[in-house]
Amino acid sequence: MAFVRANRSGTVIAAAAAVLFVVLASSVACAEPVAFPKVNIQWGTAKNPEEVSSVLQTIIMLTVLSLAPAIIMMMTSFTRIIIVLSFLRHALGTQMIPPNQVLVSFAMFLTFLTMMPTLNVMNRDALQPYLEGKKTFTAAMGEAEKPIRQFMVRQTRKKDMELFIYASKIPKPKTIDDIPTLVIVPSFILSELKTAFTMGFTLFITFLVIDLVIASILMSMGMFMLPPMMISLPVKILIFVLVDGWYLVVKSILFSFR
């Protein structure tokens, strides 16, 4: 029973992400305008149990959709990208340059780029058949969930997956398909944090060497009253620009996804 409940909860999470993912994919990948399904909500007195169930389903769906942005951030490449970009800004020592709005917007566009193959599969196998009436809503959500799971599993370390499988106390799965989405999502997030911090540490070490060299030069010259940051900051920015640092960092982020 616990395994079934976990699967159902995971399906709800994946469904919320799938709805927004597929809409974005269809608007980018398709030349024709997207035909959105019609939603009609009426309030009144329920006359039978079926109407009560329908109202509850609508309320649950609206609740899930309100959490969709946070869910999508945790189920895509956004987490790794924004953390690495934040590490880069702190390693440079430029305080709030670039601003948070710029970093988040850039991270979102990089997320759409890295997730485009997954979005295209969801659009082809889930959204279009559903809009054409070839698949039911439940079947379309099942198809949309598959590419998201595959993406997350590719980025997830085995030890992280084993940790959450043990913590969830579910029967030992024989295949990836037996693992609930509710287990895959936190495993994926943990792996993304590890990867992002590893890349961020590499960036910090590079700029730390420059800080140490500048501080040593100032001390050897007897300029103890001059803060090393005043000299190292423009030097780091100059070196970063000369080596085309933004290109190298973005290239490393994009190529880090399997």
Banded pLDDT at 30 (limits 50, 70, 90): very low
Verdict on whether the full-model pTM lies above 0.75 = no
Is residue 58 pLDDT above 50, yes or no? yes
Q: What is the largest CA-CA distance in the chain?
A: 88
Residue range 194-210, pLDDT digits in tens: 999 998 888 888 888 88
Domain boundary among 151, 175, 198: 151
Residue 47 has a CB neighbour count (10 Å cut-off) of: 8
Confidence category of residue 4, pLDDT binned at 50, 70, 90: very low
Q: Which of 91, 108, 76, 105 is nearest to 192 (CA)?
A: 76
Q: Within this chain, do residues 132 and 232 fall inside the same structural domain, yes or no? A: no
Residues 106, 132 within the same domain: no
143-198 per-position pLDDT tens digit: 878 888 888 888 888 888 888 888 888 888 888 878 888 888 888 889 999 999 99
Query: What value does the mean pLDDT of the chain take?
Result: 76
- CA angle 100–106–110, rounded 5-degree value: 140
Residue 44 binned pLDDT confidence (cut-offs 50, 70, 90): low
Rounded distance between C-alpha atoms, residue 158 and residue 223, angstroms: 52
Residues 128 and 209 in one domain: no
Whether 107 and 200 share a structural domain:
yes
Q: At residue 248, does pLDDT exceed 80?
A: yes
State residue 155's pLDDT score.
Answer: 87
Domain count for the chain:
2
| For range 85-100, the mean pLDDT | 84
| pLDDT at site 29 | 47
Closest CA to 210 of 96, 95, 99, 93: 93
Residues 198 and 128 in one domain: no
Q: Is the pLDDT of residue 243 over 60?
A: yes
- Examine the domain organization and report whether 162 and 64 are in the same domain: no
CB 173 within 8 A of CB 179: yes
Choose between 246 and 145: higher pLDDT. 246
How large is the angle between the packed helices 78-92 and 100-114, nearest 10 degrees? 140
Q: Which of 188, 211, 208, 212 is nearest to 200 (CA)?
A: 208
Name which residue leads in pLDDT, 233 or 109.
Answer: 109
Q: Are residues 94 and 146 in the same domain?
A: no
- Does 134 lie in the same domain as 160? no
**What's the domain range around 95?**
77-114+156-258
Nearest residue to 110 (alpha-carbon basis) of 148, 78, 72, 155: 78
If asked whether residues 108 and 33 sit together in one domain, one would say no
User: 258 and 198 in one domain?
Assistant: yes
